[in-house]
Structure 1
Amino acid sequence: MKVLSMILAGVVVGYAISDVRPLDSLLSSTAEFGSPATIVNGLTVLALTACLVSVVLARSSARGVLVVAIGAVLVVVFRTVGMVTGMFGDWAGAVGAGALLGASALLAGRHRGAQASLVVAAVGAGLLGKALDALLQADDGPVFVWDVVGAEDAVVPERAIVMVIVASAAAIALFLAYRNQELQPHETRRTLLVGLPLPVAAGVLSWFAGGHDSGDALWLGALAGMTAIALVASFLLPGRDGRLLLVLFASSSAGIGSFGFAAGDSAQLALSVGLLIVGAGLGYRWPQLYIGLGGLFVIAVAGAIGGYAEVPTGSEFALPLVAAYVVVSVLATSPGSLALSLPVLFTMTLPVVVYAASYQPGLSSDEAVATRTSEPDHLVLSVAGLVVVAVVTCACAVLMRRPAVVSGTS
């Protein structure tokens, strides 16, 4: 039941992540990409909320954390079905998803299965949610029973129905799994020190790198800055907990060359989901950190070769398998470290800027989005991702020499 509840909670968090926009300001609806106001965006608020909730509720009763988790699920559902719209809805979605992530991390405790389920479900839904939305949306499908789901709300009716079902199941599963459980106290005094500056600093670097007139040097400088921030944060976390942050960062950096998971059609989407599950299962049964990091290194090399020779290498198909394997291999970690590390995949990496700012066709329309005029060469990005994976591997080797932290200490 714990594993099931974390799968459902992770799916809700992941879909909320796929819905919040990384570049749109939550302070001003008219702020343009590149404006300082865009630093306060949905993903940043989500990451900050997850960190705060994991610390504030760390010594609460299981029932108190459960109330927050179920309330956050309801907020995310109301946002998804269009009942909370506009800027207030954007804030509600970001805060609700962050609260659910922080509370779920506490409920999962140090149970490897529960943590792995939460992480893989959130990562999968966060990265593949938009593609699944495109498949769920029918061209001439009926408008369902509620009128709030309409074109003006930009909500896919089928997605709203799926989200209501999943979120309701998540609330029930969380209640059944944790209603009689006592949480173990977790010391999280360092969590705020690391978790609050982390997404803000990343937002500043993304803002610099996202300017319309920024060149290769600024892009690569931003990536170097994010790498330095990730390294510092990982060593500030107690014990070996910083490895999770590093491998999430490395997974996204390795994916620069492949530009994410394969999700162009239903078959590719199903394959990516299947590879995520298989990778997580292998990581849970045979956790080997260095094998996983070696796989990321191979993917980064394949991306560099593909960028140089301009030939497809298929690395986007291997990425979900290896990423899930290496992430699950470093679990279990403290709940606070889990809550602040998971958003790193979406907030702290140059690919977030690349994906959102590149000229790409929409998933469900023929329109294209172009918000910048230049970006680094594909080969340059691939080589940069390769270097990041190598640096992270060395950092993980150093962290492995630290003693593991026992629950209740810092």
Structure 2
Amino acid sequence: MKVLSMLLAGFVVGYAISDIGPFDSLLSSTAELRSFWAIVNGLTVVAISACVASVALARASARASIVVAIASVLVVVFQTVGMVTGLLGQWAGALATGALLAAAAVLAGRHRGAQAALAVAVLGAGLLGGALDALLEANDGPVFVWDVVGAEDDVSPQRAIVMVIVASGTAVALFLAHRHEELQPYETRRILLVGIPLPVAAGVLSWIAASHNAGSEVWLGSLAGVTAIALLASFLIPGRDGRVLLVLVALSASALGSFGLAAEDSAQLALSVGLLIVGAGIGFRWPQLYIGLGGLLLIAVAAVVEGYFEVPTGTEFILPFVAAFVVVSALTTSPGSLALSLPALFTMTLPVTVYSASFQTASAYDRAVFTTTTEPDHLVLSVAGLVVVAVMTGACALLMRRPAVVSGTS
């Protein structure tokens, strides 16, 4: 039941993330892609909310975490069905999504199975949520009362139905699994010093890359900056817990030059989900961090080959398996570091200049239309991704030489 509750909570978080526009400002509804105000977007708020709430809830009781988790689920659902609209609804949805992620991470504790279920569900739903929406919308049958719920432009009836069903199960599972649980000692405040500036710095670098027309040099410089702050953050996180952040940044970089996850139709969507599950299962039973990172390196190399010779390599079919395997292999970690690391996949990939601003995606994995402003061509992008993966792999090797934090002292 504990693992099931984390799986459902992670799905709600990931599915909500897949619906949050990475370019939509929460300060100004008229802010454009290259506006400074676009730095404060839904994904940034999710990341900061998750970090702050994880530290606060780790110092509270399990009952408080359950209450926050269930309340956050309800807020996300209300925003999804259009009962809270406009900037208020966007702020509410982003804050609640972050709070739900934090509460789930705290309730998962250091239980490796629960952490794996939460992480894979967040990543899977976050990356494939758009494809699931497209699949659901292919059904032209009746949607009953959902046609008239909320503002017409703010409601996807199919998404609303899915979210209500999953949220109901989540609330029940969270209560049943954790009502008698006692939490471990609180998180260190260092998590706040890392998790709050991390998404903000990434947002600033994305804005810089989007605000100039100086060619690929500006974009590559911004990518180098994102890599540097990820490295710094991972070593500031206590013990070896920063390895999850390094793995997620490497994961995003390995896909920079690829064509993303295969999820264009129901068969490919099912294949991607299946590979995620299989990869997570193998990673749970046989955790091999360096083999997983080696897989990411191979995917990055394949992207370079694809860009140089212009031949498809099929990495989109391998990526979900390797992604789940390497992330689960990097667990366990402290709840606070898990809560601040998971949003990094969606906030630290410079999606602003890689993909079209009109394409509402939460990650750099989904297939989209390339813009022609400042991003490098496909080959340069692939080489840059390969370099970042190599750097993150080396950083993981250094980080793993540190003594592990004793459970209950982080």
TM over 0.5: yes
- One-letter amino acid of the counterpart of residue 393, structure 1: T
List aligned pairs for 1:246-257, cutoff 5 A. 246-257=246-257
- One-letter amino acid of the counterpart of residue 262, structure 2: A
Aligned to 1:19: 19
Aligned to 1:57: 57
Query: Quick check: 84-93 or 121-130, which moved more?
Result: 84-93
Aligned to 1:364: none
- Residue 376 of structure 2: SS of its match in structure 1? coil
Aligned to 1:313: 313
Aligned to 1:376: 376
For the residues of structure 1 that align with 2:14 and 2:96, how far apart are their CA atoms?
A: 12
List aligned pairs for 1:252-267, cutoff 5 A. 252-267=252-267
Shift of 1:215: 1.3
Whether contact under 8 Å (1:4, 1:173) holds in the other structure is: yes
Matched, 1:190 2:190: yes
Aligned to 1:73: 73
- One-letter amino acid of the counterpart of residue 263, structure 1: A
The 4+ residue runs of structure 1 with deviation greater than 6 A are: 358-361, 368-371
Q: Which blocks of at least 5 consecutive residues in structure 1 are unaligned?
A: 362-367
For the residues of structure 2 that align with 1:142 and 1:371, how far apart are their CA atoms?
A: 37
Q: Which blocks of at least 5 consecutive residues in structure 2 are unaligned?
A: 362-367
Shift of 1:274: 0.6
Identity %: 76
Normalising by structure 2, we get a TM-score of 0.95
- Residue 59 of structure 2: SS of its match in structure 1? coil
Shift of 1:374: 4.4
- Residue 349 of structure 1: SS of its match in structure 2? coil
For the residues of structure 2 that align with 1:121 and 1:360, how far apart are their CA atoms?
A: 20
- Residue 12 of structure 1: SS of its match in structure 2? helix
For the residues of structure 1 that align with 2:372 and 2:88, how far apart are their CA atoms?
A: 28
Aligned to 1:236: 236
Offset from partner CA, 1:38-80 (integer Å, 9 cap, x none): 0000000000000000011111110011000000000000111
- One-letter amino acid of the counterpart of residue 74, structure 2: L
For the residues of structure 1 that align with 2:9 and 2:123, how far apart are their CA atoms?
A: 12
Whether contact under 8 Å (2:185, 2:409) holds in the other structure is: no
Aligned to 2:364: none
- One-letter amino acid of the counterpart of residue 184, structure 1: Q
- One-letter amino acid of the counterpart of residue 236, structure 1: L
For the residues of structure 1 that align with 2:112 and 2:136, how far apart are their CA atoms?
A: 32
For the residues of structure 1 that align with 2:329 and 2:375, how far apart are their CA atoms?
A: 34
- One-letter amino acid of the counterpart of residue 127, structure 2: L
Matched, 1:289 2:289: yes
Offset from partner CA, 1:110-135 (integer Å, 9 cap, x none): 00000000000000000000010011
For the residues of structure 2 that align with 1:217 and 1:354, how far apart are their CA atoms?
A: 14
For the residues of structure 2 that align with 1:154 and 1:359, how far apart are their CA atoms?
A: 16
Offset from partner CA, 1:7-31 (integer Å, 9 cap, x none): 0000000011001111110000011
Whether contact under 8 Å (2:20, 2:42) holds in the other structure is: yes
TM-align CA RMSD: 1.8
Shift of 1:408: 2.9
List aligned pairs for 1:63-142, cutoff 5 A. 63-138=63-138, 140-142=140-142
Query: Is the alpha carbon distance of 1:400 and 1:370 closer, same or farther for their aligned partners in structure 2, counting shifts above 3 Å?
Result: closer
For the residues of structure 1 that align with 2:296 and 2:175, how far apart are their CA atoms?
A: 37
Whether contact under 8 Å (1:78, 1:84) holds in the other structure is: yes
Shift of 1:142: 2.3
Matched, 1:389 2:389: yes
Shift of 1:152: 2.4
For the residues of structure 2 that align with 1:139 and 1:183, how far apart are their CA atoms?
A: 44
For the residues of structure 2 that align with 1:80 and 1:212, how far apart are their CA atoms?
A: 35
Matched, 1:43 2:6: no
For the residues of structure 2 that align with 1:359 and 1:162, how far apart are their CA atoms?
A: 22
